[in-house]
A and B are shown apart, each in its own frame.
Chain A
């Protein structure tokens, strides 16, 4: 008897709760791969979520689950969000790709947005940012600033995204400083402060006085600060706590405009499957303030490049460019097509070393 009452009360409470949500509130779910306090990748996605809340106020309800492993747990978390009435779900890591597609099949009325993947469906869009545009700006500053002509690069995994960044940074460093040399360390992690610090120290010992990183923690910044005359760039978020030295600029992921636009589309009923790949122009890639440690003329040059990339008058991969083995890739004035960029698995000419696999 008692048990039944309890159940009935619970059911009523739940009924009320559901009714509350049903009042035209758009529910948006976010699945995060790291903790919201990682200071990098997940932190910026969460800022995007907060921006959605701020923009729409009472008309929207957001939920999130952090540190979700890329596997069956992700599928369960997405299903749970869909069951509990989410209208739109952002899945913010490449490793959620197949899970997103699987869950989307079961919930045709829920819209899904998968970050950095390539599989779409009638209710699944994909989105990513042209971070390589930011790398071009970094490369320019790095090439101008280095005195040892050795630039260290902490890479995460040998996937197209990361290789694109290395190539773009190298091309633009080389353009302003023909003597420049890249030393690349593969950390095989996206976020591991200890490993990243070790990688940074090893690169500094090998003479690098500029460190670029494609990993998310601030550990390389701390290592550079300890070493003295080494400059770094913030990754994913501004990392401005290390400005003006060693952090002289940064690439900032800015998902807020996209998240707001897509939430609006769900509210208006105009949501369609899209494959978005935005760069500096649409504001998805931001360049953090270039600090005073950078001479004014270098800063001006970097900002001019940023504007050219943003307006579309210049493409970061413009010929003439050869592949590492010397075979021609892009002819004079030719720009890379998105297909080749998306699957990029080769270094451009001049980079030493091989891509591990």
Chain B
């Protein structure tokens, strides 16, 4: 008989091992899935995890890992702060969109002037845009006790409508023959976030690394980080320790909103290039997986972001080389979170074999 026994304290050992175990289980279950689809599972798994890093065209795919991973890490870092404190911002996708709109809007307002200060202004505008959008659920929660999960999620759909409206109206390229979409910021030197395009380096990648370091220091060395951790682990104790929950809500939602907004701005001024109706590609939602896969730990998030980016790039390669349907790839990515949550049990529980007492 199997028996579960709650551990007095979460196991350190399993905390670090469960993500690896989840990846391994995903590979096995994914392999079975691919086998049922009539593909060689070993080849499929190799195509997804190995080819982007070591195949003959890895020189192209490796920089793409930075491009794909940077927004995920940047958003996930912001989300992880709130998640640790039990504040659930599910609407990063919306804040990402708004950040892209406000940031690109500032850049386009200056077009075609060239000046060094345009890009920094865009970054500030992007961060402010994302911050302001996240303040809606934050203030509603603080003032009226609304549920931030629902409000932030619903605001994603509002942001999407706004995005469509911007691409068709205010920010539409006046030289675009009436087609939707803004001017391409890649053709506008002052509003461009690329540092070195072939190396996959843009300011969003730099910002993601800075955010990781910043979050690490904050959580380990700073009073605010302590308060965040305490609130998540023992809310009552936190209140006795003088933590102001409302202040924490504003800070956590605000930070995650600002980071998501910045991610949107870096994306629109770099890899994507323009505001268009379908500008958002789900980074804000995928970042939630990344945050949990990385155990809400900054270093873990960095690794998890890289892993997610890998499955995206490898997944597309597997589609074109092996003819795997995209739904199978998405299922594969979903399994990762599923198994992680499942094996998470090992962190908090111990499995006992055999019967302890017989009635």
Partner of B179, one of A35, A66, A69, A118: A118
A342 engages B278 (CB within 8 Å): no
Partner of A76, one of B164, B186, B313: B313
| Contact A67 to B184, CB < 8 A, known contacts A80-B317, A95-B276, A158-B168 | no
A 59-75 to B, binary, CB cutoff 8 A, 1 in contact else 0: 00001111111111101
B 136-176 to A, binary, CB cutoff 8 A, 1 in contact else 0: 00000000000000000000000001001100110010000
Q: Count residues on chain B whose CB falls below 8 Å from chain A CBs.
A: 44
Q: Count residues on chain A whose CB falls below 8 Å from chain B CBs.
A: 42
Q: Whole-angstrom distance between the alpha carbons of A312 and B179 in the complex?
A: 27
Partner of B169, one of A72, A77, A357: A357
CB distance from A43 to the nearest CB of B (A): 13
Partner of B177, one of A63, A68, A160, A188: A160
Q: Which residues on A sit within 8 Å (CB–CB) of B281?
A: 69, 71, 73
Determine if B60 is an interface residue (Cβ-Cβ < 8 Å): yes
Q: Which residues on B sit within 8 Å (CB–CB) of A63?
A: 320-321, 323
Determine if A356 is an interface residue (Cβ-Cβ < 8 Å): yes
Partner of A79, one of B60, B172, B177, B277: B60
Determine if B325 is an interface residue (Cβ-Cβ < 8 Å): yes
Name, among B184, B281, B313, the residue most crowded by chain A CB atoms within 10 Å (CB to CB). B281
**A31 (CB) vs chain B CBs: closest residue:** B320
| Contact A83 to B168, CB < 8 A, known contacts A64-B320, A95-B278, A160-B177 | no
| A196-240 residues at the B interface, CB under 8 angstroms | none
Determine if A245 is an interface residue (Cβ-Cβ < 8 Å): no
Determine if B246 is an interface residue (Cβ-Cβ < 8 Å): no
| Contact A69 to B320, CB < 8 A, known contacts A118-B177, A188-B164, A344-B178 | no
Determine if B279 is an interface residue (Cβ-Cβ < 8 Å): yes
| A80-122 residues at the B interface, CB under 8 angstroms | 80-81, 83-84, 94-95, 98, 102, 118
Q: Which residues on A sit within 8 Å (CB–CB) of B319?
A: 64-66
| Contact A159 to B320, CB < 8 A, known contacts A95-B278, A188-B161 | no
| Contact A98 to B177, CB < 8 A, known contacts A76-B313, A157-B277, A188-B161 | no
Name, among A36, A79, A357, the residue most crowded by chain B CB atoms within 10 Å (CB to CB). A357
CB distance from B56 to the nearest CB of A (A): 6
Q: Which residues on A sit within 8 Å (CB–CB) of B186?
A: 98, 102
Q: Which residues on B sit within 8 Å (CB–CB) of A72?
A: 67-68, 267, 271-272
**A65 (CB) vs chain B CBs: closest residue:** B319
Determine if A288 is an interface residue (Cβ-Cβ < 8 Å): no
Determine if B326 is an interface residue (Cβ-Cβ < 8 Å): yes
Q: Which residues on A sit within 8 Å (CB–CB) of B344?
A: none
Q: Which residues on B sit within 8 Å (CB–CB) of A342?
A: 177
Determine if A345 is an interface residue (Cβ-Cβ < 8 Å): yes
Q: Whole-angstrom distance between the alpha carbons of A79 and B327 in the complex?
A: 22
| Contact A83 to B57, CB < 8 A, known contacts A35-B327, A76-B64, A342-B177 | yes
Q: Whole-angstrom distance between the alpha carbons of A80 and B322 in the complex?
A: 13
B 212-226 to A, binary, CB cutoff 8 A, 1 in contact else 0: 000000000000000
Partner of B326, one of A7, A67, A75: A67
Determine if B91 is an interface residue (Cβ-Cβ < 8 Å): no
Determine if B99 is an interface residue (Cβ-Cβ < 8 Å): no
**A356 (CB) vs chain B CBs: closest residue:** B168
Q: Which residues on A sit within 8 Å (CB–CB) of B64?
A: 76
A sample of 18 more A-B contacts (CB under 8 A), given A71-B281, A160-B177, A345-B178, is: A35-B326, A63-B321, A64-B319, A69-B278, A70-B278, A70-B279, A71-B271, A73-B281, A75-B271, A77-B316, A77-B320, A79-B60, A157-B180, A159-B178, A160-B178, A188-B161, A356-B165, A357-B165
Nearest 10 pairs between A and B by C-beta? A72-B271, A69-B281, A357-B169, A67-B326, A63-B320, A65-B319, A71-B272, A343-B178, A343-B177, A83-B57
Subset of 20 A-B contacts with CB under 8 Å? A11-B56, A29-B320, A36-B325, A67-B326, A68-B316, A70-B278, A70-B279, A72-B68, A76-B67, A77-B320, A79-B60, A81-B320, A95-B277, A98-B186, A98-B273, A157-B277, A160-B177, A188-B164, A342-B177, A356-B168
The chain A residues found within 8 Å of chain B, CB to CB, are 7, 10-11, 14, 29, 35-36, 63-73, 75-77, 79-81, 83-84, 94-95, 98, 102, 118, 157-160, 188, 342-345, 356-357
